[in-house]
Structures are given as C-alpha cells and as structure tokens.
Structure 1
Amino acid sequence: MQRYRRHALLGAAYLGTFLASLDISIVNVALPTLQTALRTDIAGLQWVVNAYAICLSAFMLSAGPLGDLYGHKRAWMAGVVLFTAGSAMCAMAATLPLLLAGRAVQGVAGALLIPGAMPILTHAFPDPRERAHAIGGWSAFSALALILGPLLGGVLLQSAGWQSIFFINLPLGIIAVGLGMWGIPERRHPDHAALDPLGQILSVLWLGALTYGLIAAGEYGFGGALPSAALLSALVAFVAFWVVETRVARPLLPLSLFRHRPFAVANFASFVLGFSCYSSLFFFSIFLQQIQGWSPVETGWRMLPQFVATGVASVLFGRLSAGIAVRWLMVAGYGLVGISMLSMTQFTAQTPYLAVGTLFGVLGLGMGLAVPATGMIVMSSAPRERSGMASATMNALRQTGMTIGIALLGTLMGSRAIHVLADAAGAHGIADAASVAREAVTHHVLPDAPRVFSGLYAAAMASGFHVAMLCAGVPCIVAIALLLTVQPGAKPAIRETAAAR
C-alpha cells in the first residue's frame, strides 16, 4: 500500500507541474488567434502571457513560507484547486480584461504548484539516485506538457475554439486533487517560515512595474513618459524590497543563502533559463506563424522536436547523472541552448524546416539537461530545512526571467521590426511608411498591396527575431562561464538577523 501511495505522490507532483507547464505552451500557440478574437495588439498578447507570468513569479516567493507554515501538502492542494478555478474563468472570458483576470488567478495558483513539487519530491526520495530519477521524471512531465501544448492547442483551436484550451485543465485538476489527497504526506517547518508581508507587497510592485514599463516601451519608446515612470517606480520598489529583506527577521528572499557561491550561480542560471528558454516559446510561435506563415496546427507540429528532445533528455537524466557529474550536465545543457539560439539569428522566412527543426531539437536537448541539473544543484546547495524556500527562490527567479524575457525581448523585437519595415516601406514608395510599419507590427494589420508588403513584413519581423535570439543566447554563455568558476561545496550556514535572535 505504501508503494502505491508513493506512486500517487509522484503522479500528483508530476500532474501539478504538467498543468502549469501545459498552460504556458498551449497559450503561446493560440496568441495569433487570441489577437484576432479579442481585437488586441502585440502588447495585449504580451499581457496574456505576462499576467500569468507576473503573478507566478511575484507570488512564488511566498510558496515556500506558506508550505513551511501551513504544510507543503496543503499549499500544493490549494494551488491545484485555484488553478482549476482560474482556468474556468479564462474559458468563460468574453473580453481581454476578463481573460487577464483569469490568467492572474492561474499565475497565483502556479506559484504554489511549481515550487511546491520540489520539496515534496526531495522529502519523499532522500536517496540521491532515486531523487535524480524522480526529478528527471518531473522535468520530463514538464517537457511532455510543452510537447502536447502546441499539438493539442492547434487541434482545439481549429475544432472547438480558443476557450477549449482552458477547459482542458478542469478534468486534469480534478485528477491531481484526488492523487494528492491520498498520496502526499503532510510536512511543515513553521520555525523556518518567512514572516515578511511588506517584502511580498514590494516584490509584486517592482516586478509588475518593471514588466509594464518594458511592454510600454515597445509602444512609446524607452524615453516615453509612461515607460520611464513605470521603470523608475520598479527601481524604487526593488531598492525598498532589498532593504527590507536585509532587515526583516524572517525574509521572503533569503539573501544570506546567496553568499554561498554555488547557490548564487545556480540561481542566476535559473534566471537565465527563464529569460532565454521559457520566453522563447512566445517568439517561436510568432516566427512560425507570422514570419513563415504556418497555421496553428502546423506550428504545433513544427515545434515538436524541441519538446521531444527535452522529454528524452529528462527521462535519461537519472542514468546520465550516475556517470557524469551534475555540474557538467548543467554546463552541457546551457551550452546547447546558447549555441542553438545564437544559430537562430540566421533564420529567415525561407529557412527550410530541416534547419529549423534541427535547432529546435538541439535547444530541447539542452533544456532537458539544464532544467533538472539546475534544480538538483540549487537544492543540494541549501540546508534541508530550507528546501521549500530554496525551491521557491529558484522557480521565482526562473519565472521572473521569463517575464522579463518576454517583455524586454518582445520590445526589442518589435522596435527592430518597425525600424526595418519603415525603411523598406519608404523605399518602395508606400505613403506614411512609419505609421504603416508601426500598425503592422504592433497590431498585425497589413495594408493593401499585400503581395509586396507581406514580403517586407516577414523580412522585418525576421530581423526583429534575430535581435531577440541574440539577446537570449548571450546570457547562456555568461551562465556557462560562471558555472565553470565554482565547485559545489558544503551547504551554507544560515545566520539569523538580530531581530530573529
């Protein structure tokens, strides 16, 4: 009976992560459809993704303290129920604001689900070899969600409408609740739980203001009054957050852990993983549909090599880690990701799919190594009683990276595309080229004479895509350089503040 309960625990933890990951990939494929159905622009599409990502990253730091205080099982179960309710809200939304509200609820729920799985698995599998297999399986399920998301999303979009991509979460949520209630034992660490409400408020403020400022910069430029005010507010809130975290007795973000170099470098790598890899789904969907002209279903199939390679590498990770140090698997993973993204700066509207699919596969292989390796190094670098906080910090940085990546890279891509398209349109004698270019890129509204303009538009968007991929690939190389300078060492000692003593 105990063995079956352990299997139920695995199934629940995997399915919870599957739900949150499925929502990322399935929504990215639906972005062009949502743009038409809800009559929004590219900034609106960024908010469909970022309303989820902002809440996910901003509230994720609270997941560890909530689990420590009230119980990891209880916090995780609350996440599943809330995610299912948020999915129902999204499915019934008739306007963009209502959809964004549902996405925000999903994000808060995901903040409990994604980091909540790691301490559950860490406690259930104390043996390092078994834990490597369990975490590899967890990563594989995340990859499986990314595989099925584009495929399932394309089919549902064509056959049942965009609302169906959210309705699919309801039966999965019910199954996850049943497995979790039976299989997950309750564990609490109330003596180590953070008590930092001001830190939580400030973390939401600075991240939200930062993301809004970066998205607004895509419309008004970085010198505009609105983005400048938002970015300045983000800076002030971040400084205040940092000051609070250095003085509070039980901080939301354990800055003392970052004095341990392996922990700090691994968490920087987690941020890069979100900034480069997780945000890339947004740009790959646009590249395949708006630059190369594929339908949502065809886009889903063409993104498949990335997710299949991620799944295969994740499943094999346990075996690989038995013979190769996790640190070197991590370096290899980030290396493959960086190389593939830098190579994508050569993609055009005419690039054959063999080249596109091959680089997608290389990227997926790198992710399949980088995700579980990063998780294992972060968890091994933190004290056992701080496992919940360490997992929450790692995942919060990853999701923050994805949020900033979509916002910043999206702005850079759009700005570059507008500049290139305006020059090309002007050279072809198109009147008011600058306004026409901005309307085409931000609202995807093409003028008359589509045969001439469509080619210019695809080339301009490809140029913007090249900038995004360059800025996504370079941080991976930086992460490798830092990883090569550290050796995993002893877990850091945690010093309490004077207030705690």
Structure 2
Amino acid sequence: MTETAPSGTRPPITAALALFSAGFLAMLDLSISMVALSPIRSDLHASLSALQWTVDAYTLCFAGLLLVGGLISDRLGHRTGLIVSLALFTAGSAVCMAAPATSVLIGGRAAQGAAAAILVPTSMALIVRLYPEPKQTARMLGLWSALSGIAIAFGPVLGGLLVKLVSWRAVFAINLPLGLIAILFAVVSVPKARRRVAAPVDVLGVVLGITWAFTLAFGVIEGAVHGWASPLIVGSFVTACLALAAFLLVERRREHAMLPLGLFRSPRFSAASVVAFALGFSLSTAFYFLSLYYQQVLGYSPLQTGIGFLPAALAITVAAPLAGQLAGKYGARPVTTSGLAIGAAGLFSMAFVGPDTPFTMVAWMLVLIGTGLGLALPPNNHTALNAAPSERAGAASGTVETLMQFGTVVGIAVLGAVHASLFKDNLQERLTSQGVDPSAAGQAVQAVASGEQATVPGQPLPALLHSVTAAFSHGLQWVWVVAAAVALLSALVPLLIRRQPDPSTSAVPAGQVGS
C-alpha cells in the first residue's frame, strides 16, 4: 500500500526526529560494532569465521532486502512500516545485547539488518510525504543524509567509548532507548494517511537473491573451517550457482522484479554497478580488517580503535562534498577514477604496516583510503542515476546501493578467507621452525583460529602470543594487496565508457526497463 500526501499543518518536530532516528540507527549499526570484535571474540570465544558473520549477517540482510524494503513498507503503509521496522530493529538489538553465544548474536544481527532494509526507504518516503514542498524536501533529505553519514563515520568512536565505559553489549544496548523513543515519536507524531494499492512484493526474487548471496558467503567464510572439498562447502557453492541462475531467470520475466535487469542495458549503469560492488569489496571492507589490525596486532582498546578510525572518517567527511564540486567541473568519470586510485594507494600502503608501525604513518594511509571512498562514491551514484530513465531513478539508486553492500559482504568473506588461510599457514610455519612438534603446532593453530586459549608444551606464553600476532599481521598484509588490486582495476572501468549520453537507456521504453 502506498500512502498519499497528508493534508493539514506542518508535522511536529518529533515526527522529524522519528524519521532521522530511523536512518541514524540503520547506518550506525553498519559501523559501531566494528570496534567490539575483539571483546566479542574474548567473551564469547568466537572463531574468526564467527566474527565475520557478526558483520556479514547485518550487511547481507540489509542488502538482500533493501530493494524490496520500500515495497514492503508500501504494503504495510509507511507509518506502520516505520513502527514495525523500528520495533524489529530494537528487538534485534536486545537479542544482540543479551546474546550468550555467537549463534544468537548473529541471529540478532540478521534481524537488525532486515529491519534496517525497511527503515531506510520508509523514512525517506515519509520525509517526501510529510514535507512536500521541494525546498523542504531537499532540506530534510539533506539533514537525513548528513546524520546517516555521521553515524557511519563516527560510529566506531561511539562504540569504542561504550565498550570502554561498559562492555561490548552496550554497543547494542544503546539502540534500545533510541529505538523506543523513535517508536513513541512515530506513534504520536507521524500522521496516518489514506492508502492506495501498491506494486506486489517480489517474494520469489527476495528468497532466491538472499539464498544465493548467503550460500556464497557461507561457502567462502566456512571453507577454511570445513575444508574446500567437503560436501558441505561444495554443496554451498553449487546451491549458490543454481540460486543465482534461477534468480536471474525469474527477474528477467517478472513485471515487478526485485532487480530491474533492464537497467543493465546501459553501459554507464553497468559500469557504475561494477564500481559500486568494487567500492564495497575493497574500500568499505577495509574498515573491518582495520579493526582487526588495531585490536589483534597493535593491541588497541576499543576506544583507541574507534579513535583510530577518525583519520578515514574525517577524510570522507571532507572529500564527499568536494567530489560533487569536482564532478560538476571535470565530470564524474575522472573524479570516480581518481578516488579509486587514491583509495588503492592507501590500501596498498597498508600492506607494509606491522606491529611496530607508528600510528602517524597509519593515519596518512587511512586519509588516502577515506579520501578515495569519499571522492569515488558520490559521482558514481550520480552516474548510475543519470544512466537510468527518471521514472526508474529509485530502482537505479537502490540497485547500486545494494550492489555496494553485497560487495562488502563478499569482500569480508573472500578477504577473510584469504586472511584465515595465510594466518594459519604462517603460524604453523613459525611454530614448527621454533622446534614445536608439527602435531602440537597444528592443534594450537586450530585453537587460536577457533577463538580458544592455545598452549604449546615447552613454548612460553609471551613467545606464543608474539608468533600469533606476527602471523596475524602477515595474513592482513595480503588482504590489503588484494583489496588494492580490486580498487585499482575498478578505477579503469569508468574510463572504458564513452563520455557522451548513453543512447541505450533512451532507446529502452520506460515500461520495458525492468522486463
């Protein structure tokens, strides 16, 4: 169901606060938990793969449902959709806060991500409905975007402070009062409106889309744990391939498709989609591994880790608005390419850091990564929107955002598998070179990788911890190299597309774009 514009006086400030809170909470939980990974691992004895799932569960559900989150809200009614999704997000946060095991924590994170996929489009739709004047709409959407950006950029700092003052559970507990207040404001202040029939939700597309993404992520993350040739992992990859093929076939034939494949007839839109995926895979994923570097290699506290994110956060804050000005003057292509190249330089530089690298050097590398992301993202989104017919702008925006989030999911999975494999191999080599029996070394490696306390007969604990730290740092070095290579290769993509307006988009009738 889709609500029509209300009549009457201007909505109270509490209505705006409810809408801003929805976007703020959804974006905050994309980043705030990054600094809690080490305490979670220690408290819940989480394995490396379980840590990846605490991040990927949220991102996967958020990305998988984002394209249909608006349609779900349309059918519920925007006011009802806002209240229901806020309630689900708050309940998921409560589950995370009280989680006695990683499996429960991952389930709570999945609930949060699913709720966030509805919160984001619903809050934006309500802004347009409650503030219909063009200047009002632009101002309120600008404030919504600014607060969401602040939530992502400075979430790690807030998370580090909460972990230091309370515990990692406070990272999720903070959502409870915020969520309840937002629900109260929404119930009291957001007006009801008359509804009309909305487009049907592509349920089959949602199921197939999440299935292929989940089974792919599962296979990559768990492959190092169960063995790449094990029936479980092989079956996961086969399922992912079959689900993806079925998804593309279904979406091609559906009138109201979850993913409008017709948009990809435009070379410019396809290029922007590839870049969005690469941005998620390389630059966005970098913050997950940066958190591991700070806490597992340098031994930073959660608060120190949060502060350590500031150079990148501040660089994004400065570069993002600058990107719009540069794109207006020089065009979107060179700005996007420059941003990716700068980001790749920052990622590659990180390959040379280790346990003894001073923070002043790391900070400059983070400035490059943040600047690259800030410069590349806005003009790339602009390219995608301009490549689509105006009546499909919402679908184009949602598709590109979804691909970036999927890029983050796949990036954490693939790069996490690279890191886990190199970490374990290097630790095994280090222990055996120190005279440790290969069998005892193997048991210690498996214990460390599983988040358990490892002991080696005849090996002092400080020496073992030094070996673990060095091996962990070795694995991260290759993560940065692979991420940098992906960013650098994607920097070439915008240059392959001709600059003039893309005729393929205008040649496709509006009613057939999604067919």
Taking a change above 3 Å as real, the CA distance of residues 297 and 352 of structure 1, as seen in their structure-2 partners, is same
Corresponding residue for residue 353 of structure 2: 347
Alignment of 1:264-413 (within 5 A): 264-317=270-323, 319-413=325-419
Aligned-pair distance for 1:305? 0.8
Match of 1:443 among 446, 451, 454: 451
8 A contact 2:322–2:375 mirrored in 1: no
Match of 2:475 among 440, 449, 464: 464
Aligned-pair distance for 1:136? 7.0
8 A contact 2:391–2:510 mirrored in 1: no
After superposing the two structures, state which structure 1 stretch, 256-265 or 431-440, moved more.
Answer: 431-440
Q: Aligned partners of 1:372 and 1:6: how far apart in 2?
A: 31
Aligned-pair distance for 1:233? 0.9
Corresponding residue for residue 256 of structure 2: 250
Corresponding residue for residue 232 of structure 1: 238
Corresponding residue for residue 486 of structure 2: 475
8 A contact 1:121–1:134 mirrored in 2: yes
What secondary structure sits across from 1:32 in the alignment? helix
Q: Aligned partners of 1:153 and 1:337: how far apart in 2?
A: 25
Aligned amino acid, residue 453 of structure 1: L
8 A contact 1:136–1:318 mirrored in 2: no
Taking a change above 3 Å as real, the CA distance of residues 342 and 264 of structure 1, as seen in their structure-2 partners, is same
- Taking structure 1 as the reference length, what is the TM-score of the superposition? 0.88
Corresponding residue for residue 155 of structure 2: 149
8 A contact 2:257–2:514 mirrored in 1: no
- Taking structure 2 as the reference length, what is the TM-score of the superposition? 0.86
What secondary structure sits across from 2:228 in the alignment? coil
Aligned amino acid, residue 416 of structure 1: L
What secondary structure sits across from 2:492 in the alignment? helix
Taking a change above 3 Å as real, the CA distance of residues 96 and 190 of structure 1, as seen in their structure-2 partners, is same
Q: Aligned partners of 1:312 and 1:188: how far apart in 2?
A: 41
The one-character-per-residue Cα deviations of 1:343-382 (angstroms, maximum 9, x if unpaired) are: 2111111111111111112211222223333333323332
Aligned amino acid, residue 428 of structure 2: A
Aligned-pair distance for 1:474? 1.7
Taking a change above 3 Å as real, the CA distance of residues 370 and 79 of structure 1, as seen in their structure-2 partners, is farther
Aligned amino acid, residue 483 of structure 1: P
Corresponding residue for residue 98 of structure 2: 92
Q: Aligned partners of 1:418 and 1:338: how far apart in 2?
A: 26
After superposing the two structures, state which structure 1 stretch, 430-439 or 222-231, moved more.
Answer: 430-439
Q: Aligned partners of 1:120 and 1:363: how far apart in 2?
A: 34
The one-character-per-residue Cα deviations of 1:385-405 (angstroms, maximum 9, x if unpaired) are: 333322322222111111111
Corresponding residue for residue 178 of structure 2: 172
Aligned-pair distance for 1:12? 5.7
Aligned amino acid, residue 339 of structure 1: A
Taking a change above 3 Å as real, the CA distance of residues 276 and 498 of structure 1, as seen in their structure-2 partners, is closer
Q: Aligned partners of 2:426 and 2:192: how far apart in 1?
A: 57
Aligned amino acid, residue 291 of structure 1: V
8 A contact 1:196–1:251 mirrored in 2: yes
Match of 1:423 among 425, 429, 434: 429
8 A contact 1:347–1:466 mirrored in 2: yes
Aligned-pair distance for 1:420? 1.2
Taking a change above 3 Å as real, the CA distance of residues 482 and 322 of structure 1, as seen in their structure-2 partners, is closer
Q: Aligned partners of 1:329 and 1:184: how far apart in 2?
A: 42
Alignment of 1:123-138 (within 5 A): none
What secondary structure sits across from 1:94 in the alignment? coil
Match of 1:59 among 65, 75, 94: 65
Match of 2:463 among 452, 460, 474: 452
Taking a change above 3 Å as real, the CA distance of residues 195 and 48 of structure 1, as seen in their structure-2 partners, is closer
Q: Aligned partners of 1:262 and 1:498: how far apart in 2?
A: 15
Gaps of at least 5 residues in structure 1 are none
8 A contact 1:140–1:311 mirrored in 2: no
Q: Aligned partners of 2:477 and 2:321: how far apart in 1?
A: 32
Q: Aligned partners of 2:360 and 2:444: how far apart in 1?
A: 34
Taking a change above 3 Å as real, the CA distance of residues 317 and 19 of structure 1, as seen in their structure-2 partners, is farther
Taking a change above 3 Å as real, the CA distance of residues 25 and 222 of structure 1, as seen in their structure-2 partners, is same
* Rg (Cα) greater in structure: 2
Q: Aligned partners of 1:494 and 1:86: how far apart in 2?
A: 42
Aligned amino acid, residue 347 of structure 2: M
Taking a change above 3 Å as real, the CA distance of residues 237 and 155 of structure 1, as seen in their structure-2 partners, is same
Q: Aligned partners of 2:377 and 2:426: how far apart in 1?
A: 36
- Structural RMSD (CA): 3.4
Aligned amino acid, residue 46 of structure 2: T
Taking a change above 3 Å as real, the CA distance of residues 354 and 61 of structure 1, as seen in their structure-2 partners, is same
Aligned-pair distance for 1:19? 1.5
Match of 2:442 among 434, 439, 452: 434
The one-character-per-residue Cα deviations of 1:129-154 (angstroms, maximum 9, x if unpaired) are: x96x8877655434422343222222
